[in-house]
Amino acid sequence: MALWSGRFVEGVDAFTQRFGASLPVDQRLYAQDIAGSKAHAAMLAAQGVIAAEDAEAIKAGLDGILADIEAGTFVFDINDEDIHMAIEGELTRRIGEAGARLHTGRSRNDQVATDTRLYAKQRAADLMTANVALREALIGQAEANFEVILPGYTHLQHAQPVLFSHHMLAYVAMLERDYTRLQAALDAADASPLGAAALAGTTYPLDRFATAEALGFAAPIANSLDAVSDRDFLLDLIYACSVSCLHLSRLCEELVLWSSSEFGFITLSDSYSTGSSIMPQKKNPDFAELIRGKSGRVVGDLVALMMTLKSLPLAYNKDLQEDKQGATDAADTLEDCYVCAAGMVATMTVNAEAMRAQAKKGYLAATDVADYLAKKGLPFRRAHEVVGHLVLLCDTRGCDLEDLTLADFQAESELFEADVMECLNLEAIVAARTTYGGTAHTQVRTQLEAAKNRLPH
């Protein structure tokens, strides 16, 4: 029979027991559950609610259970329903009476909210560490290939040449924002529900500030109803995971494109590629595709919890038990994706020649030629039209702007002088974009150093 079975005559049947159990999902919260119980018991003793010897016995018993779970010798039983019952039940079997006093002034409602917040804080911190490792890999490639030029795209059409390092740093910028969002999710979880009890507080003289402090929370949550019913911190965590997964899906989409024969911009290492069971020549970017694909499930986790919370009345409802599956999945998935992406990026080969060859196609100097005329006083719209004519000329001749003669330029506008030829090469085009945040080497060098300085040391 369950720990709550006093007012019941019959037990639940095997199916409903399994249906109602959260143990398969929440057993991974064992360390948080034990930490919460130790803090609660110590506070009960300090407040004179239970005897000091009972608190000692509870602490020793819980430490023994923790050691057994970590050694893999603890046998979880689905009949225990959830991690709270499993640990409390075993504690009472081990230490008797004292164990049965642990739940004084506490409910599973504040208990589960406490465990889940401790877990969310831990996972947000883990993800921040993994986020930094991926940023380091991107920064490493940016440094190793600092001067490599590739075509920058808009509409997936060649637009203007950019430094490969600049392109990598755009992803670093996304990941820095993700790091900030993870920190915000950690902060949202950083308040203690413990002592809210079932929903209304308790009649015991609990010191909620003491348990909050013992568990490393910034403060106790001020409203007991809010304490047991709030899961916004999980939404924040899954949202942070979702946005970061979207960023990884964009990165991986580019890695998939870049590793195709059409681009050939990068070669993924063998350890981040797979072969085909039928086509012997194949080398597929499976892992980049998987990261791209997993982002869908993580966004699904966010929507799922939002829908679970929609219209839920105060305070605790069993619906809330559905909160942990998506949150653990989102955090696990993003962590794995960070690790995989970091390895993939760190080990990929950048094919500078292939990037350069593409950057030479598609009249990437066109904007610079128009700027050349505009700087000589021609209104930019007029200059745009003149260069449009030059591009048409190249199109008919099947050549690039670089292949035109000065006479060809001057036939379109007498403002052209010999120095126009200097703004046509890729290095000059890149180097000229010196606005703050632009792709000029000087700017990118500054941004690269700044990105390195923002890595936590």
> Which positions are annotated as active-site residues?
155, 276
Q: Which stretch binds ligand ARG (CB under 6 A): 6-14, 156-164, 314-322, 408-416?
A: 314-322
Q: Least separation, in Å, of the C-beta of 362 and ligand ARG?
A: 57
Q: Kindly state the DSSP code that residue 161 receives in the 8-state scheme.
A: E
Q: Which is nearer to ligand ARG, 33 or 412 (CB)?
A: 33
Spatial neighbors of 48 by CB under 8 A, at least 6 apart, are 205
**In the Cβ-directed half-sphere of 181, how many Cα atoms lie within 13 Å?**
20
Determine phi and psi for 261, rounding to 5 degrees.
Answer: -60, -30
Give Cα 34 to chain centroid, integer Å: 28
Q: Which stretch binds ligand ARG (CB under 6 A): 107-115, 265-273, 281-289, 371-379?
A: 107-115
Instruction: Work out whether 342 is an interface residue with ligand ARG (CB under 6 A).
Output: no
Q: Which is nearer to ligand ARG, 54 or 80 (CB)?
A: 80
Please count the helices (runs of H) and the strands (runs of E) in the chain: 19, 4
Instruction: Work out whether 318 is an interface residue with ligand ARG (CB under 6 A).
Output: yes
Binding test (CB under 6 A) with ligand ARG, winner from 80, 82, 368, 412? 82
10 Å CB burial of residue 209 (0-12, 13-18, 19+) is middle
Q: Are strands 349-350 and 157-163 parallel, antiparallel or unpaired?
A: unpaired
Q: Least separation, in Å, of the C-beta of 322 and ligand ARG?
A: 8
Instruction: Work out whether 231 is an interface residue with ligand ARG (CB under 6 A).
Output: no
Q: Are residues 230 and 223 in contact, defined by beta-carbon separation less than 8 angstroms?
A: no
Give the total of residues touching ligand ARG (CB under 6 A): 10
Give the C-alpha separation, 43 to 13, whole Å: 37
Q: Which stretch binds ligand ARG (CB under 6 A): 104-112, 155-163, 200-208, 294-302?
A: 104-112
Q: Which is nearer to ligand ARG, 237 or 299 (CB)?
A: 237
Q: Rounded to whole angstroms, what are the CA distances from 126 to 123, 155, 158, 179, 186?
A: 5, 36, 39, 11, 11
Instruction: Work out whether 109 is an interface residue with ligand ARG (CB under 6 A).
Output: yes
Q: Which two tokens stand for residue 127?
A: 């993800």
Binding test (CB under 6 A) with ligand ARG, winner from 102, 320, 344, 420? 320
Q: How far does the chain reach from its first CA to its final CA, in angstroms?
A: 52
Q: Which stretch binds ligand ARG (CB under 6 A): 98-106, 199-207, 253-261, 316-324?
A: 316-324
Binding site for ligand ARG (CB under 6 A): 22, 26, 82, 108-109, 112, 316, 318, 320-321
